[in-house]
A and B are shown apart, each in its own frame.
Chain A
């Protein structure tokens, strides 16, 4: 249970935040941050644990968002069904994208995933009857229970609960025979196969899982925003998601959460009066500095800080 301390601290922070900070814009940003945290956690799973690369996560994010928007708006299904449909379509696309990973590695695999992201983006722009194309998709229902719409605070708690549930699932899988096999494959796939493990099945599962989380994030975003346009689904966003996972810590459970929240909020802290043109540049610079000087990521540093505060044994930053 001590290993899950980080989750308990995160849960406490999620519960307290909207009570302490009543600013609506801050809350909206934090909602976006939690959605990014879910998506970046999926990348931690795929890249940090299973050793596969995806620079096309925005594609799954789009599939989740537009599927859920379509199913709820055009077919009149409840939001929960829409989100589940979004996850299902993303997972299927994830299974398909895992096929090139049987043969391709690193650089070549990342090119294929970029191409995948681009294909989805082009479909989003051109399939106007379904996606609304560049004009956007309007009228997506907001979170509600019965006829009562949820407040931003309640949505924040809902997203927080979903995030913690996802992290818990990841934690369980990582510390099981499946997780060990994935970490082994990350180190050496020939040796993993010699241990009787089908690396193809593992790759299919890892791509499916991370695509599922991206699809879930997409669905959650669609109902939060109420309106979809193609911008959040570009290649730029895909690389931003990878940056979140790397800055947070690719090999750590907390990496996606810390990176997702951190990189969503960082540009906001840098919006000084008169310097608006430069804040994105500074954000990128900070990302580069973190990657060079703290290659394990910010997540493990925070985990150790939490442990120190609670006077627990320091974890091994390499293998947690």
Chain B
């Protein structure tokens, strides 16, 4: 069963075609990796599917529902969460508040209950706070809950962004280069987390350059170059594909 399917999805920026008639399927409950040289359209793929950029043509189906023209926030509420290649945290909020922002769609209280500070609203606030703290402890950040994320180490900021994405209770998670700029110890943490998420039934699409990482976690790999799929399969097959080697290393 496929959780996400794109049909001839194209995205062009003026004359530059970043994604050219991409037809990609992401199997449910697995870790799929999307690799390719810089500028091959990996991040654009995530941005188009999550509604950050409108697509030029083609269609995107999430659980057989057409989400091609949906608003980014609605797509997120349907259960597609993501992190960003360049970390985007809310610097003016504390660590736990960053996670709580992504819990907003689980609140039922309207502005009147908020202003009256009703018991129902207070209960909701408490439940969501506990959920946020639980996610922070999953990524090992509970002791920083009330700190500002601004001064935190790069690896911790990355973990916070993942905790925030998980706060949406997603069924599909996009991780855009989670291991970039991380030390080996740090990305071991992320790797373990991804395996844990897989056990919990969350499907992951991973964009990554670190081949050891992909080899260790990915069930299925797509290779992009110039916005098109040039190869797909198990990592062991991809590794030896001459087209892939050519895209990465160039021709002799």
Task: Find out whether the CB atom of A184 lies under 8 angstroms from the CB atom of B73.
Answer: no
Interface string of A159-202 (1 = CB under 8 A from B): 00000000011001100111011011011101111111111000
Size of B's binding interface in residues, CB under 8 A = 41
**A23 contacts B by Cβ under 8 Å:** no
**B85 contacts A by Cβ under 8 Å:** no
Given known contacts A184-B90, A187-B90, A318-B148, is B76 in contact with A193 (CB within 8 Å)? Answer: yes
Task: Find out whether the CB atom of B168 lies under 8 angstroms from the CB atom of A169.
Answer: no
Closest beta carbon of chain A to B96's beta carbon, Å: 10
Interface residues in B42-96 by Cβ distance below 8 A to A read 50-52, 71-74, 76-77, 81-82, 84, 88-94
**B164 contacts A by Cβ under 8 Å:** yes
Residues from chain A with Cβ under 8 Å of B76 in the complex: 193-197
Task: Find out whether the CB atom of A194 lies under 8 angstroms from the CB atom of B82.
Answer: yes
Given known contacts A195-B102, A196-B102, A197-B101, is B92 in contact with A183 (CB within 8 Å)? Answer: yes
Task: Find out whether the CB atom of A181 lies under 8 angstroms from the CB atom of B101.
Answer: yes
The secondary structure that dominates the A interface is helix
Residues from chain B with Cβ under 8 Å of A251 in the complex: 92
Residues from chain B with Cβ under 8 Å of A148 in the complex: none
Task: Find out whether the CB atom of A173 lies under 8 angstroms from the CB atom of B90.
Answer: no
Residues from chain A with Cβ under 8 Å of B109 in the complex: 176-177
**B107 contacts A by Cβ under 8 Å:** yes
**B119 contacts A by Cβ under 8 Å:** no
Given known contacts A195-B164, A198-B73, is B114 in contact with A187 (CB within 8 Å)? Answer: no
Interface string of A199-243 (1 = CB under 8 A from B): 100000000000000000000000000000000000000000000
**A319 contacts B by Cβ under 8 Å:** yes
Residues from chain B with Cβ under 8 Å of A197 in the complex: 73, 76, 101, 104-105
Q: How far is the CA of A137 from the CA of B167 in the complex (A)?
A: 55
Q: How far is the CA of A192 from the CA of B105 in the complex (A)?
A: 12
Task: Find out whether the CB atom of B73 lies under 8 angstroms from the CB atom of A191.
Answer: no
Task: Find out whether the CB atom of B71 lies under 8 angstroms from the CB atom of A191.
Answer: no
Residues from chain A with Cβ under 8 Å of B98 in the complex: 184
Residues from chain A with Cβ under 8 Å of B105 in the complex: 196-197
Closest beta carbon of chain B to A296's beta carbon, Å: 12
Task: Find out whether the CB atom of B73 lies under 8 angstroms from the CB atom of A183.
Answer: no
Residues from chain A with Cβ under 8 Å of B90 in the complex: 183-184, 187-188, 191-192
Task: Find out whether the CB atom of B100 lies under 8 angstroms from the CB atom of A180.
Answer: yes
**B11 contacts A by Cβ under 8 Å:** no
Task: Find out whether the CB atom of B114 lies under 8 angstroms from the CB atom of A318.
Answer: no
Q: How far is the CA of A187 from the CA of B92 in the complex (A)?
A: 7
26 pairs, CB–CB < 8 Å, chain A vs chain B:
A172-B115, A176-B109, A176-B121, A176-B125, A177-B125, A177-B128, A178-B114, A184-B90, A184-B93, A186-B92, A187-B90, A187-B93, A188-B89, A191-B84, A192-B73, A193-B76, A194-B50, A194-B52, A194-B81, A195-B76, A195-B167, A196-B73, A197-B76, A198-B71, A198-B74, A319-B94
Excluding A173-B111, A173-B114, A195-B168, 12 further A-B contacts by CB distance (< 8 Å) are A172-B114, A176-B121, A176-B125, A178-B111, A181-B101, A183-B93, A184-B98, A191-B88, A192-B73, A193-B76, A196-B102, A197-B105
Interface residues of A (CB under 8 A from B): 168-169, 172-173, 176-178, 180-181, 183-184, 186-188, 190-199, 251, 318-319
Interface residues of B (CB under 8 A from A): 50-52, 71-74, 76-77, 81-82, 84, 88-94, 97-98, 100-105, 107, 109, 111, 114-115, 117, 121, 125, 128, 148, 164-165, 167-168
Q: Across chains A and B, which 8 residue pairs bring their CB atoms closest together, nearest first?
A: A195-B102, A196-B76, A191-B88, A193-B72, A196-B77, A196-B105, A176-B114, A187-B90
